[in-house]
């Protein structure tokens, strides 16, 4: 069984090299290949990757047409039974690929799988997610009441920031920074490939929704950790502006799931009020203290 590790690079040569080095150093328990897609980087000649790592498959995309299309291009060159989409700004510290693959192949009901992601300081990154809903948005506004529940009940009900990543659990969607699935899953997706409608951000949630609609369970595995250097390819000054894009993506995904129904409009009103207030707090904090709230 071969794992094809798809990495998309855009102008992050050093970061991507560190990612590949960590894969080579720690992946020992399963056969694998690295398929590196360069999305028309201008920082350095992409053949520098091939010189540094002769065994990788280098795919040169003539244009930067986004994360989803970059991954689909990599998949087209992959030979594996299992696909791992791995962000270029991740660092493996143990054989996470083998651990994840063993879990994936042990349960045929699993569609997409992720592992415990951390920031560089070791803090859990909240990559086990629920789909947004009116109920959960209202519960989030009533946050103090949630803490009357036991930790496990609260975590299973809400996931996201209420979960510490300390046990395995089914989830609605997982982070695209580390997302593993069997190659055959692609045949169950609407166009038999990863949905490409988003250039960047939100595509992982969309893919997981489509995988769940095909009858599979998405899963978070706590037994191995991977460092994700959040937004390594994004300048700090742009990070807050991206929050607006993420809000728009959430609304697009909700419209995809629910259509333009009364539910969608009620959700939009609650979600936009809540998230815009959160955005304002983050913006003020960044302006005054140059500190980005996670």
Taking only the tens place, the pLDDT of each residue in 16-32 is 999 999 999 999 999 99
pTM: 0.92
232 falls in which pLDDT band (50, 70, 90)? very low
**Closest listed residue to residue 83, CA positions, set 96, 69, 101:** 101
Backbone angles phi, psi at 259, to 5 degrees: 75, -175
Q: Is 246 helix (H, G, I), strand (E, B) or coil?
A: helix
Question: Which pLDDT belongs to residue 89?
Answer: 96
Q: What is the mean pLDDT of residues 109-116?
A: 98
CB atoms within 10 A of CB 57: 16
- Tell me the CB-side half-sphere exposure of residue 235, using CA atoms within 13 A: 3
Q: Which residues pair with 220 in a beta bridge?
A: 114, 169
Per-residue model confidence (pLDDT) at position 239: 62
Distance CA 140, CA 271 (A): 10
pLDDT higher than 90, residue 236? no
pLDDT at position 61: 95
Closest CA to 164 of 230, 105, 225, 73: 225
- Measure CA 39 to chain center: 18
Class of domain 3-131+158-228: alpha beta
Average pLDDT on 25-47 reads 96
* Closest C-alpha to 114, from 214, 228, 23, 210: 228
Domain residue ranges in the chain: 3-131+158-228, 236-289
User: For residue 233, with 0-12 CB atoms within 10 Å meaning exposed, 13-18 middle and 19 or more buried, which class applies?
Assistant: middle
pLDDT of res. 237? 57
The pLDDT score that the predictor gives to residue 293 is: 57
């Amino acid at each position: 069984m071969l794992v094809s590790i798809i990495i998309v690079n855009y102008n992050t040569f050093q970061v991507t090299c560190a990612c590949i080095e960590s894969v080579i150093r720690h992946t020992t328990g399963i056969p694998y290949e690295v398929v590196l897609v360069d999305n028309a980087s201008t920082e350095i000649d992409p053949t520098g990757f091939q010189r540094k790592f002769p065994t990788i498959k280098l795919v040169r995309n003539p244009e930067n047409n986004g994360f989803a299309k970059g991954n689909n291009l990599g998949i087209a060159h992959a030979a594996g039974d299992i696909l791992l989409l791995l962000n270029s700004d991740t660092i493996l510290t143990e054989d996470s690929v083998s651990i994840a693959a063993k879990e994936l192949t042990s349960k045929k009901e699993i569609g997409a799988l992720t592992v415990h992601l951390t920031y560089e300081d070791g803090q859990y990154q909240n990559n086990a997610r629920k789909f947004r809903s009116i109920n959960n948005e209202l519960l989030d506004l009533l946050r103090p009441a949630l803490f009357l529940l036991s930790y496990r009940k609260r975590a299973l009900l809400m996931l996201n920031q209420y979960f510490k990543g300390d046990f395995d659990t089914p989830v609605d969607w997982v982070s695209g920074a580390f997302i593993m699935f069997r190659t055959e899953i692609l045949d169950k997706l609407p166009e038999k490939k990863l949905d490409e409608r988003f250039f960047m951000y939100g595509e992982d949630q969309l893919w997981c929704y489509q995988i769940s609609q095909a009858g599979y369970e998405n899963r978070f595995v706590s037994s191995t950790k991977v460092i994700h250097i959040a937004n390594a390819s994004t300048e700090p000054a742009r990070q807050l502006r991206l929050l607006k894009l993420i809000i728009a993506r959430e609304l697009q995904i909700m419209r995809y799931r629910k259509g333009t129904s009364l539910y969608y409009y009620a959700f939009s009103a609650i979600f936009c009020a809540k998230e815009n207030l959160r955005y304002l707090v983050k913006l003020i904090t960044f302006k005054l203290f140059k500190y980005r709230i996670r």
